[in-house]
Amino acid sequence: MGPAAFGLIPLEGSAPPEFGVQAFDSRPLFPSSVWTACHGEGSLPASCAEASSTWTDVWFTNHIAQAVIAAVAVIVFWLVVVWRPKVIPGKRQFVGEYLYDMIRNGVARDIIGRDYQKYVPYLLALFTFILVNNLFGQTFLFMFPTFSKIGFAWGLAGASWILYNAAGIKRHGLAGYFKNMTVPHGVPAPLLILVAPLEFISNFITRPLTLGLRLFANLFAGHLVVMVFVVGGSWLLLATSASSAGYSPIWNVAGGLALLLSFFVFAIELLVACLQAYIFTVLTAQYVSSSLSEAH
């Protein structure tokens, strides 16, 4: 479990000395000499406070790589399941249709209703991309949910924000859409002074923020808990009086217990991974639906 073992698996998280929030830091795949100098052990050069990475350190990181792998996996998966589709589906096509119907009928059609067809590709891409990235949190070689890096979550939240606003503006025109989203139907005029700003904040600012934060926070916290149970548990299990001050044999018992409980934590994390992908998709559909509706 030393740093060397982690080094053998390039995409996995940081070495144990850094397990904390630092474990979420990206590592460059091809570290520059500057980065290596500033991320080593011991005292660091004074220049590291300023710029400690080149552009390759920022654009070719383990987390970027796993996002790319997820995207390729998603595209390959869908291409495989619709390869030479048949009227009577085989097993391969059946799996694809099951997932496709879940988003197409269960999310797009049920929530958006009329004109749902246009939004199926977006929702399908959204759901599968998030799902695969979330499942990376429980997949060896990765062991890191991509969306616990908030940049990815903000990216998708921004995309959904643009989507539902664009859909509304296209349907009602800029003024009509803006009125729909800020002036609720049936509210007396004097109250609008209070309600309209609240509606504006709720529909244009809170929505994307909560969308991104919800996804990020669930996976961030989930991964943190996994690390506490697995890395912390194994550290406690392997602790000896020689390695740690204040050692007591109860540490080893607690560590073993924590490792056992980690299975339960992993199960919960699997659920969270699927649930968050689904929730993000459903909420996007919900926002599109509210943008398209006549009277808000």
Partner 1 sequence: MFPLEGSSGPLGPLLPEHLSEFVVGLVLFAVIWVVMAKKIVPAFEAVYKRRDELIRGGIEESERKQAEADAALARYNAQLAKAADEAAGIREEARDSAAQIRTKARRQAEAEAERVIAAARAQIGAERVQAASELRGEIGGLATDLAGKILGETLADEQRASRAVDRFLAELDQLPVKA
Applying CB under 8 A, the span of 12-20, 125-133, 181-189, 238-246 interacting with partner 1 comes to 125-133
| Residue 121 interacting with partner 1 (CB under 8 A) | yes
| Residue 125 interacting with partner 1 (CB under 8 A) | yes
Q: Please, what sign has the CA dihedral across residues 256, 261, 263, 269?
A: negative
The residue from 13, 31, 96, 255 that contacts partner 1 (CB under 8 A) is 96
**Interface positions, 232-271, toward partner 1 (CB under 8 A):** none
Number of helical (H) and strand (E) elements in the chain, helices listed first: 11, 0
Contact indicator for 215, 251 with CB cutoff of 8 Å? no
The amino acid occupying position 32 is S
CA 237/CA 243 separation, integer angstroms:
12
Contact flags string 18-57 toward partner 1, x per CB under 8 A: ---x--xxx------------------------x------
Which CA distances in Å does 142 have to 11, 51, 224, 243, 265? 5, 28, 15, 29, 17
Cβ within 8 Å of residue 84, ≥6 positions away: none
Closest CA to 232 of 247, 251, 217: 251
The amino acid occupying position 207 is R
| Residue 90 interacting with partner 1 (CB under 8 A) | no
| Residue 287 interacting with partner 1 (CB under 8 A) | no
Comparing CB distances to partner 1, the nearer of 158 and 197 is 158
Backbone angles phi, psi at 276, to 5 degrees: -65, -35
**Interface positions, 154-183, toward partner 1 (CB under 8 A):** 154-156, 158-159
Comparing CB distances to partner 1, the nearer of 174 and 221 is 221
CA angle 96, 272, 145 (to 5 degrees): 85
The amino acid occupying position 150 is I
| Residue 64 interacting with partner 1 (CB under 8 A) | yes
The residue from 75, 253, 267, 271 that contacts partner 1 (CB under 8 A) is 75
The residue from 35, 144, 152, 161 that contacts partner 1 (CB under 8 A) is 152
| Residue 128 interacting with partner 1 (CB under 8 A) | yes
Closest CA to 73 of 8, 142, 122: 142
Comparing CB distances to partner 1, the nearer of 25 and 266 is 25
| Residue 150 interacting with partner 1 (CB under 8 A) | yes
* Residues contributing to the site for partner 1 (CB under 8 A): 21, 24-26, 51, 58-59, 61, 63-64, 67-68, 70-71, 74-75, 78-79, 82, 85-87, 89, 93, 96-97, 100, 104, 117, 120-122, 124-126, 128-129, 149-156, 158-159, 213, 216, 220
